[in-house]
């Protein structure tokens, strides 16, 4: 494995400038295609099918991890939001907690974890309680200021 960057919940790679960047390993639990209600094709084609709660990588394998898990707990079974963003299950707190643990486990000491969360259904403050690692800084974005980008760094104390 030559990639230095892991995106374990890449979905359709919406925020990436280069969807095939050679330094990034794109992973997702889904590998599927959909036609959305407006006729656009949605492709979820990871390099590797994987589960962010149980990553198949050695400790400290990546210098950068981008953790953008599903943020919805309520979404129609065939709705476009579920197709686009995925959906968390009933055990979402445990899932996100395990996701943070796994992302920090595979992150090298001195490495950076970028966490992205949309708080339309669950507040970012609730999510950040699911990890013991304290963020360095964050930024709110989007028309309704619902999307939060948060930066963590793995130190010897993390």
Cα–Cα distance, 76 to 140 (Å, whole number): 27
121: Cβ contacts below 8 Å, ≥ 6 apart: 71, 72, 73, 74
Hey, what are 43's tokens?
Answer: 């492709």
Contacts of 22-26 spanning 24+ positions with Cβ under 8 A: 25/1, 25/62
Cα–Cα distance, 133 to 56 (Å, whole number): 22
Task: Enter the pTM of the model.
Answer: 0.92
83-132, pLDDT tens digit by residue?
Answer: 778 888 899 999 999 999 999 999 999 999 999 999 999 999 999 999 99
Hey, what are 132's tokens?
Answer: 């013991």
DSSP label at 102? H
Residue 80 has pLDDT above 70, yes or no: no
Number of domains comprising the chain: 1
Domain CATH for 34? 3.40.50.150
Hey, what are 97's tokens?
Answer: 């907690």
pLDDT for the residue 139: 94
Whether residue 75 lies inside any domain: the answer is: yes
Label residue 29 by pLDDT band (50, 70, 90).
very high
Whether residue 158 lies inside any domain: the answer is: no
Whether residue 40 lies inside any domain: the answer is: yes
Identify the domain containing residue 17 by its residue range: 5-153
Whether residue 99 lies inside any domain: the answer is: yes
Cα–Cα distance, 130 to 94 (Å, whole number): 8
Hey, what are 131's tokens?
Answer: 């990890």
Residue 24 has pLDDT above 80, yes or no: yes
132: Cβ contacts below 8 Å, ≥ 6 apart: none
């Amino acid at each position: 494995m030559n990639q230095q960057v892991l995106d374990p919940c890449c979905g359709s790679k919406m925020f990436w400038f280069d969807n095939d960047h050679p330094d990034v390993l794109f992973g997702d639990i889904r590998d599927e295609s959909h036609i959305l209600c407006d006729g656009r094709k949605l492709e979820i084609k990871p390099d590797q099918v994987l589960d962010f709660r149980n990553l198949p990588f050695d400790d400290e394998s990546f210098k950068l991890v981008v953790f953008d898990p599903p943020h919805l707990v309520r979404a129609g079974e065939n709705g476009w939001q579920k197709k686009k963003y995925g959906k968390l299950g009933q055990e979402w707190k445990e899932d996100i907690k395990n996701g943070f643990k796994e992302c920090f486990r595979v992150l090298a000491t001195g490495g950076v974890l970028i966490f992205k969360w949309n708080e339309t259904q669950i507040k970012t403050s609730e999510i950040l309680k699911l990890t013991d690692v304290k963020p360095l800084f964050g930024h709110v974005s989007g028309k309704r200021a619902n999307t939060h980008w948060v930066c963590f760094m793995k130190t010897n104390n993390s």
